[in-house]
Amino acid sequence: MKRKKRIAILTGGGDCPGINAVIRAITKKAILEYDMQIIGIKDGYEGLIHNKYRTLSYDDVSGIITLGGTILGTSKKANPFQYAVENGGQLKFEDRSHDVLKNIEALEIDCLVCIGGDGTLWITNRLYQEGVPVIGVPKTIDNDIRGTDITFGFDSAVAIATEGIDRIHTTAQSHHRIMFVEVMGHKAGWIALHSGIAGGGDVILIPEIPYQIDKIVQYIHQRRKRGRRFSIIVVAEGAKPVGGEVVIQKIVKESSDPIRLGGISLVLGEQLEKIISLETRAVVMGHLQRGGSPTPFDRVLATRLGSKAVDLMIEKSYGKMVSVQGDRLGDFPLSRVAEGPRLIPEDHELVTSAREIGVSFGV
């Protein structure tokens, strides 16, 4: 009897709303349309290294479209090409890709679907170069993956950040304060830009446009002259001053991407208080942006991406990432995804529109 095709699904990197909707779409379509067997890899690449997995049935994925996070678990540290191992109190990195290849072969996987951001998809591309048939699905709240116009998780994160900004407005007005809302965005400021505009932020600071503190001070003074006794500053965690550096919260040594940012709003708030006679407060949105149920937009987008991933598998169009190109779905080579993040051009339409309605970018 002919063996059923077996596909494996892996979710890597930071969690975000909509992952379960992708898992659901892939599993249901692969089973209903093509009678495939589905393997769920546990905890991202950690599961491929240590052979941790579960089978996924149609019933296993029913009802999970509304759930945040990932039913398979994930890891931001398990890079099989640079895997952290403690030996004699010393941390070192090993190449464990041979274990991954061995486990993929033992599971008789016909295609590996990797749902993740730029780091996860970089590893996916490396596995493809090693001969593994792979398909990538773009996942990140940061919306910064090269080759796709939008990623699922982004709309949900923007909605949460915007709600936070909305709630800050009333207390800022009541106390005549400068209020900071710090959102995620290591190298790209898409969340800050979209939520800042949607929430009526007065100043938006993003990694792509280094700020000058004297320009922010000048802008706040101008607002005060117009009778505006408060200001809302939306800042991405990766924002930095001209000629300066990002604010690092901590270093995670066992991670292949060890830098964790955070706290720019607190640092900048202290600096402003020394210059102007206004009290500042900061709210760091942090992992609130990653949690909770996905928005309807993200549920629909994730479903479309999952369905398209199955199409690419059937076509044996491996080494590709499902991408959004305008209103349509397409594919994009993983080798080009690995070239680096999709950043905001300084002349981007949204940046221009924000400036035209009086928003400052600190320059």
Q: State whether 198 and 79 are in the same domain.
A: no
For 55, other C-beta atoms within 10 Å of its C-beta total: 10
Question: Parallel, antiparallel, or unpaired for β 53-56 and 328-333?
Answer: unpaired
Q: State whether 286 and 314 are in the same domain.
A: no
Residue 262's domain is classified under what CATH number? 3.40.50.460
Cα separation, 99 vs 94, whole angstroms: 11
Residue 2: the pLDDT is: 75
Instruction: Report yes or no on 164 lying in a domain.
Output: yes
**How sure is the predictor about 140, in pLDDT bands with cuts at 50, 70 and 90?**
very high
When divided into structural domains, the chain yields a total of 2
Q: Are 237 and 282 in contact (CB under 8 A)?
A: no
Residue among 146, 129, 235, 132 at smallest CA distance from 182: 235
Residue entry with tokens 């901590």: 250
Q: Are 288 and 11 in contact (CB under 8 A)?
A: no
Burial of residue 327 (number of CB atoms within 10 Å: 0-12, 13-18, 19+): exposed
Alpha-carbon dihedral of residues 141, 213, 348, 158, nearest 10 degrees? 30
Residue entry with tokens 């209103």: 327
Instruction: Report yes or no on 177 lying in a domain.
Output: yes
Cα angle value 337/317/145 (rounded, 5°): 20
Q: State whether 166 and 219 are in the same domain.
A: yes
Cα separation, 330 vs 336, whole angstroms: 14
Instruction: Report yes or no on 358 lying in a domain.
Output: no
Q: State whether 127 and 265 are in the same domain.
A: no
Domain encompassing residue 110: 6-152+294-337
Q: State whether 133 and 180 are in the same domain.
A: no
Upper half-sphere CA count for residue 151 (Cβ side, 13 Å): 28
Catalytic residue among 15, 43, 142, 144: 142
Instruction: Report yes or no on 114 lying in a domain.
Output: yes
**142 is known as an active-site residue:** yes
Cα separation, 136 vs 115, whole angstroms: 6
Q: What is the pLDDT of residues 216-262, one digit of tens each?
A: 999 999 998 888 888 999 999 999 999 999 888 777 777 667 777 88
Contacts with 229 (C-beta within 8 Å, 6 or more apart), sequence order: 173, 176
Q: State whether 81 and 137 are in the same domain.
A: yes
Cα separation, 21 vs 9, whole angstroms: 13
Residue 91's domain is classified under what CATH number? 3.40.50.450
**SS percent in the chain: helix, strand, coil, step 5:** 40, 20, 40
Cα separation, 97 vs 99, whole angstroms: 5
Computed over every residue of the chain, the mean pLDDT equals: 92
Confidence check: pLDDT of 276 > 90: no
Phi-psi region of 108 (alpha: psi -120 to 50; beta: other; left: phi over 0): left
Q: What is the pLDDT of residues 51-92, one digit of tens each?
A: 999 999 999 999 999 999 999 999 887 899 988 888 777 888
Residue entry with tokens 């780091």: 119
Residue 1: the pLDDT is: 63
Question: Which tokens hold the place of 160?
Answer: 């949460």
For 194, other C-beta atoms within 10 Å of its C-beta total: 22
Give the least confident one: 15-19, 99-103, 176-180, 324-328.
176-180
Alpha-carbon dihedral of residues 208, 214, 218, 220, nearest 10 degrees? 70
